[in-house]
Amino acid sequence: MNISKSSSILLFLSGIIGLYVGGSLVFFPEWLQAQSGIFLDNNPSHFSETRAPGTAILSASIFILVAVFKNEYRKLALGLTTLFFLSYGIGRLLSLFLDGMPAEGLFYAMIGEIAIGLSALILWKKSENFQIKS
């Protein structure tokens, strides 16, 4: 599989995941957090701290999905995918060591985030050496 097809598949997958997570954090934060055993009280500050990263994830995901169809954005989108997914995955890994085992779903999210982030990093580095074409 060539780098262009691989990057398109990875960007599409990460964009869809980001839309789901970001959109859920913004519009359905109580429901999404409850899936991991986190229950939000009726505290506006808590909702603000949940919706803000959700909006960042949602915005980044829209850009990542646009890059599936716009080659000129693909390299930047691979870098953004690397940054977002590895940041979340490494943050969860750090929390695992400092705080203990989270809910099972969050543990598997960490595995997926690190895998997607590393895959994006590899494709991003390869894209420095090769021109990405559709």
* Predicted TM-score (pTM) of this structure: 0.88
Establish if 133 belongs to a structural domain: no
Q: Supply the pLDDT for residue 129.
A: 65
Using the Cα atoms of residue 107, residue 109, residue 112 and residue 113 in order, give the sign of their dihedral. negative
Establish if 60 belongs to a structural domain: yes
Establish if 99 belongs to a structural domain: yes
Instruction: Tell me how far apart the alpha carbons of residues 28 and 12 are, in angstroms, rounded to a whole number.
Output: 23
Q: State how many domains the chain has.
A: 1
Q: The domain containing residue 31 runs over which residues?
A: 3-127
Establish if 61 belongs to a structural domain: yes
Establish if 84 belongs to a structural domain: yes
- Measured in residues, the chain has a length of 134
Least confident interval from 5-14, 65-74, 108-117, 121-130? 121-130
Establish if 132 belongs to a structural domain: no
Establish if 17 belongs to a structural domain: yes
Instruction: Tell me how far apart the alpha carbons of residues 27 and 110 are, in angstroms, rounded to a whole number.
Output: 22
